[in-house]
């Protein structure tokens, strides 16, 4: 990602993760501190009555983990097709 010609890809980070790496991945993608992302996500979760928790779970399923090419949701869909 430090390469000027490389495109940015949103992935769940293995470094600095607390749960599934969603906030660490979002922070790395946008170049902001992961703690700030976690605080914003927590505040939005409280203010929206838990919708942020649902968004986190969806992001966990849809965003692939670093080092993997497909997400959990894509893997589940591939297994259903077979």
Q: Where are the domains of the chain?
A: 22-81
Task: List the one residue out of 9, 23, 28, 16 whose CA is nearest residue 60.
Answer: 23
Task: List the one residue out of 17, 39, 42 whose CA is nearest residue 28.
Answer: 17
Contact yes or no for 43/36 (Cβ under 8 A):
no
Whole-angstrom CA distances from 18 to 4, 13, 33, 41 are 29, 10, 14, 13
- Over residues 2-54, the pLDDT tens digits come to 555 578 888 888 887 888 889 999 999 999 999 999 999 999 999 999 899 99
pLDDT of residue 1: 45
DSSP bridge partners of 12? 65
């Amino acid at each position: 990602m430090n390469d000027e010609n490389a495109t940015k890809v949103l992935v769940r980070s293995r470094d600095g993760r607390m749960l599934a790496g969603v906030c660490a991945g979002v922070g790395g993608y946008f170049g902001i501190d992961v703690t700030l992302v976690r605080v914003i996500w927590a505040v939005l979760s409280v203010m929206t009555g838990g919708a942020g928790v649902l968004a986190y779970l969806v992001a966990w399923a849809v965003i692939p983990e670093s080092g993997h090419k497909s997400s959990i949701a894509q893997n589940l869909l591939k297994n259903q097709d077979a």
